[in-house]
Amino acid sequence: MRFAIQINEGPYTHQASDTAYRFAKAALEKGHEIFRVFFYHDGVNNGTRYTVPPQDDRNLQKLWSELAESHKLDLVVCIAAAQRRGILDANEAKRQGKDGDNIAPGFRISGLGQLIEAGIESDRMVVFGD
């Protein structure tokens, strides 16, 4: 089965990010495909490379980056939600006159069209968070 995943909550304010990560990992281990993971609303906070959790806590950004690298996942951060929360890639930082970017490895910024395409191209879309 081919899945699209949408994550609407931040990594440390709600369990949705943890649950989505575990779902994605389990689905891949069972031989399913993940077409795209789309981070929306506060979920875009999963995609900042400046996350520094305590040593005894999980680092969801790192876990997502590693999963994306090992399985060639497409991790898309919604551009509008990201800009509102100060998450920028190099192109957006330059375009907005900012002096740096903070997008995590394996993540990319794009628009809602990527979410629509994921829904069309997948057998199931699973949404985590409100």
Query: Which residue numbers are catalytic?
Result: 78
Cα angle 123-2-102, degrees, rounded to a multiple of 5: 115
Tokens for 73, please give them: 């996942």
Nearest to 65 by CA among 57, 56, 54, 73: 73
- Helices within the chain (DSSP H only): 16-29, 60-71, 79-84, 90-95, 112-121
